[in-house]
Structure 1
Amino acid sequence: MTHSAEFEKFAACLRALKGRADLSYEALAHKTGISSSSLHRYCSGSYVPPDYGCAHRFATACGASREELRKVHRLWALADAARSASSAPVSPEPEPEPATRTETGTGTRAERTQDAGPARTEAPSPTADPGVNPSPDPASDPASDPASVVDIVPAATARRGAWNQRGRLTLAASVLALALAAGAWALIPETEPHTTGATNTTDTTDTRNTGKKDSRLLFSDACDGTVGMGQQDACVREVQRLLARAGADIDVDSQFGPQTLRRVTAFQVLAGIAPNGVVGEQTKKALYAQKTRMDTWSPEKVRQRVREVFEEEPDRAAAIADCQSFLDPLHILPNTNGTRNWGVFQISDTTLRELGGTPSTALEPEWNIQAAHRLWQRTEDFSAWPHCDRAYQSSPPPTPTPSLSQP
């Protein structure tokens, strides 16, 4: 697939959404906070937005359904990967220009961090900070044919309402990072677990130095080396099976996609292994040791607790948490600059350190929700999550639930 072909597939999807919505570039600029000239470049196929947040806002403004947003997300990742992989130099494109200055939180800085807590950009470090920005995604992201094109449903059947139809930020950054730089991630060695009592420090069944054959699949010749993003085989299925046994909510489908990446990263954090999203020797040992559990709160329990903590604006807080992470406490989202966002409210690495947290504590739903409320108290608004808050504000008010008949 050529560079231009990937660009055109992405652009064709945007054009179809725009055509169905029957919106001008000026109207979309007003809705998204991106200049009409930048939007025109995206739809013409001459350029791909530098981060998924721009594509997400465009599709949401056009009334895309959740499934359409997932496909937009995938096509953006493929086009961005094609741009980065292309050997031909590409003329630099300026960051999307804000269409207006009337909306707080618009602008390139917020767009770069994908609503990862307070919008901040953190330079990547050679040794990735063990804590990074996703969340276990309760909704699996099934691997799909990269060549497939988004099917845009007729306007009559398209679900309207920016909030109900918004796509949650899944994992474009990780798709790009691992599709193009899996080798670079693999350079980050898996360190022995440093948590007290961790069982991964020794593996009595690792018999490479005793001459005995290890019969476990992940240590067999078939799974020699690492298991990582894009792989589709029995080795991936074994990783997924072991994660599910540890309590993870994951599809066992033999495809190492965004969902598996998130679960592997969360498992590594909980097991005390340097999180790189790649299943190497130490992660394999920890998976078989069965001493790290991934059981966590259900989305219903998360929503209830968010509403209790954010008593000032319970509906808005719950909606933003749902937009950020699908209410998944283990959601972890990598950014293209090497940082990550963590947990229910997708707290960024920088903010996590400011709040005195760690990746492990950020995956604890109670801590994450309380930390998010502390962020809210700084300004008494949801400006730390600009994209999701914008979607909430632009959505129609919820339909009141009829009260039960009185006896």
Structure 2
Amino acid sequence: MTATVDPERFAAFLRSLKERSGLSYEALAQRTGSSRSSLHRYCSGSFVPPDYGPVHRFALICGASPTELRELHRLWAVADMSRMRDAGEGAGEGKAEGESKSPEAVGSPARTDVTEPVPTAVVDAAPTATGTGTAAAAAAAVNPWRRRALPILGLCLLLLVAGGTWMTLATRQRAAAEDADDGRLLFSAACAEPVGMGQHDTCVEEVQRLLAAAGADISVDSSFGPQTLRRVTAFQVLHDLDPDGVVGTETKRALYAPKARVRSWSPKKVRQRIRQVFAEDPDHAVAIADCQSFLDPLHILPNTNGTRNWGVFQISDTRLRELGGTPRKALEPEWNIQAAHRLWERAGDFGDWPYCERAYTESSS
């Protein structure tokens, strides 16, 4: 990864968080304690802050989830390393020439405490204190065999090592061949790493293209922002994968061989069904759902505490467990609308959606 790409990915991630929050640079500056110009430089990629603290405060105020915070810290660390590497270029030049060399490298005198080996011929011919002439003859006969056997044994050992290395390489090549670059860009060297939030390149474009081919309503703009995060997470839920919003190996395989369509009801159909189910107060219910998800059945929103809200009425993980549902169930518009109606009946109002309820009340008044 080049030094230029590292800060760009870091900046793109920050921009996506800012866009999702809807806050201006002025508002963020007041809440983070950083200057407006500094925040703008972070998001433009022209400067990587040497301290992670301002970045962390920025992300928290923008509503970053724990997973996003971990990824942001990783991107900052990589970008900061690039900054330090650029600043340190040339600082180490000439060091190698000035480094001290080992005594052996500068021609230190040979050691004199090493016993010189005795020639084999001398050993063979030397009489032993306790041996007989027959034993000496036997020893003389064995030693030449040993001299011939040692090279043979060494050669065998070398062949065994070479064979083991070859088998290991062959095994790795066969494993790599399963995911070889056979026209699938996500399995090429260019996209070897997982594709995730804040990334902006051809790998993201390929993910978006495959999602669109699977029926997802998504813009193919090469930028992994909140919309792509929602669609990737929905795709993972529909394919029984870990819904972490990151395109790893399993998600890549599924994208090239999708088993489910990432398509659901249109906003018009969602609106009609909400009015039917919430016959007691249809306009109010539609306004709440529109505020929560823009009437998108596959809308998924991560929270700062690691939980998520799902579907048309953005039912939280907590409510989902209470209602006996699952993320997959929550993405089914009929189940989601009926579950929201049960919550409404139980409370007698739309208190489960306080932000949108407050907005509706203020707009009505």
Q: Give the shorter-chain TM-score range.
A: 0.5 to 0.7
Shift of 1:231: 0.7
Structure 1 residue runs of 4 or more that deviate by more than 6 Å after TM superposition:
87-90
CA distance, structure 2, for counterparts of residue 12 and residue 281 of structure 1? 37
* Residue 374 of structure 1, aligned match among 305, 330, 342: 342
Shift of 1:182: 2.0
Where 2:176 maps in the other structure, the secondary structure is coil
CA distance, structure 1, for counterparts of residue 242 and residue 349 of structure 2? 34
Is 1:288 the counterpart of 2:177? The answer is: no
Native 8 Å contact 1:207 1:214 kept in 2? no
Partner of 1:47: 31
Closer/same/farther in 2, CA of residues 222 and 316 from structure 1, 3 Å limit = same
Partner of 2:302: 334
Shift of 1:320: 0.4
Native 8 Å contact 1:229 1:256 kept in 2? yes
Native 8 Å contact 1:362 1:368 kept in 2? yes
Shift of 1:179: 5.0
Point out the structure with max Rg over C-alpha. Answer: 2
Is 1:180 the counterpart of 2:164? The answer is: no
Task: Give 5+ residue unaligned stretches, structure 2.
Answer: 1-10, 34-38, 44-48, 75-173
* Residue 359 of structure 2, aligned match among 372, 391, 403: 391
Cα shift readout 1:188-223 (whole Å, capped 9, x = no counterpart)? xxxxxxxxxxxxxxxxxx962569653310000111
Native 8 Å contact 1:344 1:369 kept in 2? yes
Spell out the pairing of 1:254-265 with structure 2 (5 A cutoff). Answer: 254-265=222-233
Where 1:47 maps in the other structure, the secondary structure is helix
Cα shift readout 1:128-161 (whole Å, capped 9, x = no counterpart)? xxxxxxxxxxxxxxxxxxxxxxxxxxxxxxxxxx
Shift of 1:363: 0.2
Is 1:230 the counterpart of 2:225? The answer is: no
Shift of 1:13: 4.2
Is 1:86 the counterpart of 2:53? The answer is: yes
Spell out the pairing of 1:162-181 with structure 2 (5 A cutoff). Answer: 172-174=62-64, 177=66, 180-181=69-70
CA distance, structure 2, for counterparts of residue 387 and residue 269 of structure 1? 27
Where 1:333 maps in the other structure, the secondary structure is strand
Is 1:268 the counterpart of 2:236? The answer is: yes
Spell out the pairing of 1:193-272 with structure 2 (5 A cutoff). Answer: 208-209=176-177, 213-272=181-240
Where 2:301 maps in the other structure, the secondary structure is strand
Cα shift readout 1:217-259 (whole Å, capped 9, x = no counterpart)? 0000111120001111111000000000111000001100010
CA distance, structure 1, for counterparts of residue 246 and residue 193 of structure 2? 10
Shift of 1:295: 1.4
Native 8 Å contact 1:178 1:229 kept in 2? no
CA distance, structure 2, for counterparts of residue 214 and residue 89 of structure 1? 40
Where 2:246 maps in the other structure, the secondary structure is coil
CA distance, structure 2, for counterparts of residue 234 and residue 210 of structure 1? 22
Where 2:280 maps in the other structure, the secondary structure is coil
What is the TM-score normalised by the length of structure 1? 0.52
CA distance, structure 1, for counterparts of residue 287 and residue 346 of structure 2? 20
Higher relative contact order (CA 8 A, sep 6+): 1
Where 1:318 maps in the other structure, the secondary structure is helix
CA distance, structure 1, for counterparts of residue 313 and residue 236 of structure 2? 20
Letter in 2 for 1:86: G
Is 1:349 the counterpart of 2:333? The answer is: no
Aligned length: 235
Closer/same/farther in 2, CA of residues 280 and 390 from structure 1, 3 Å limit = same
Cα shift readout 1:282-321 (whole Å, capped 9, x = no counterpart)? 0000000022211100001101111110011100000000
Partner of 1:199: none
CA distance, structure 1, for counterparts of residue 287 and residue 260 of structure 2? 31
Where 1:322 maps in the other structure, the secondary structure is helix
Where 1:294 maps in the other structure, the secondary structure is coil
Letter in 2 for 1:173: G
Task: Give 5+ residue unaligned stretches, structure 1.
Answer: 15-41, 50-73, 91-111, 113-170, 186-205, 398-407
Closer/same/farther in 2, CA of residues 390 and 87 from structure 1, 3 Å limit = closer
CA distance, structure 2, for counterparts of residue 11 and residue 353 of structure 1? 36
CA distance, structure 1, for counterparts of residue 196 and residue 56 of structure 2? 29
Closer/same/farther in 2, CA of residues 351 and 369 from structure 1, 3 Å limit = same
Cα shift readout 1:51-90 (whole Å, capped 9, x = no counterpart)? xxxxxxxxxxxxxxxxxxxxxxx99xx7xxx9x9317998
Where 1:327 maps in the other structure, the secondary structure is coil
Letter in 2 for 1:272: D
CA distance, structure 1, for counterparts of residue 294 and residue 283 of structure 2? 15
Letter in 2 for 1:351: R
